[in-house]
């Protein structure tokens, strides 16, 4: 039985190369099973900046900034078959990638 509609997969991670590898792995697996794939679409990168004082008690003008970037990709699988769903559930992706799947 075929799955109706589409599967939307969002990938998040701090290292863009790992996120891109995971997206390519998903796209290759879906195309091998005959599903139509849209993506990977790069979504805006979130940038979180934290500012801390370098000194403990004084010297407020001396500060240091740290940033953490979250890279995101979006993959849509249109008209997936049961074979596509089984292949995606058995797929092993690299560590450091958060996956959100919506049907």
Is 30 inside a domain boundary? yes
pLDDT of res. 68: 96
| pLDDT for the residue 4 | 67
The domain containing residue 72 runs over which residues? Answer: 6-102
Question: The whole model's pTM is what?
Answer: 0.79
Does residue 89 contact residue 30 with C-beta atoms inside 8 Å? no
pLDDT at res. 9: 92
Tell me the mean pLDDT per 10 residues along the chain, length 103. Answer: 75 94 92 87 95 88 93 91 86 89 86
> What CATH number did the domain enclosing 49 receive?
3.30.70.600
The answer to whether residues 98 and 15 touch, using CB atoms and an 8 Å cutoff, is: no
User: Cβ neighbours of residue 3 under 8 Å, at least 6 residues apart?
Assistant: 80, 81, 82, 84, 85, 103
pLDDT at 3: 57
**pLDDT value of position 98:** 92
Task: Give how many domains the chain has, as a whole number.
Answer: 1
Q: Classify residue 1: in a domain, yes or no.
A: no
Give the count of alpha carbons within 13 A of 80, CB side only.
25
């Amino acid at each position: 039985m075929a799955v109706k509609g589409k599967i939307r997969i969002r990938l998040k991670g701090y290292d863009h190369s790992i996120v891109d590898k995971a997206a390519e792995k998903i796209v290759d697996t879906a195309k091998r099973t005959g599903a139509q794939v849209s993506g990977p679409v790069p979504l805006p990168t979130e940038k979180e900046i934290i500012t801390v004082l370098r000194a403990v008690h004084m010297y407020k003008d001396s500060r240091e900034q740290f940033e953490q970037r979250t890279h995101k990709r979006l993959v849509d699988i249109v008209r997936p078959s049961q074979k596509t769903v089984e292949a995606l559930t058995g797929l092993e992706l690299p560590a450091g990638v958060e996956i959100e799947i919506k049907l």
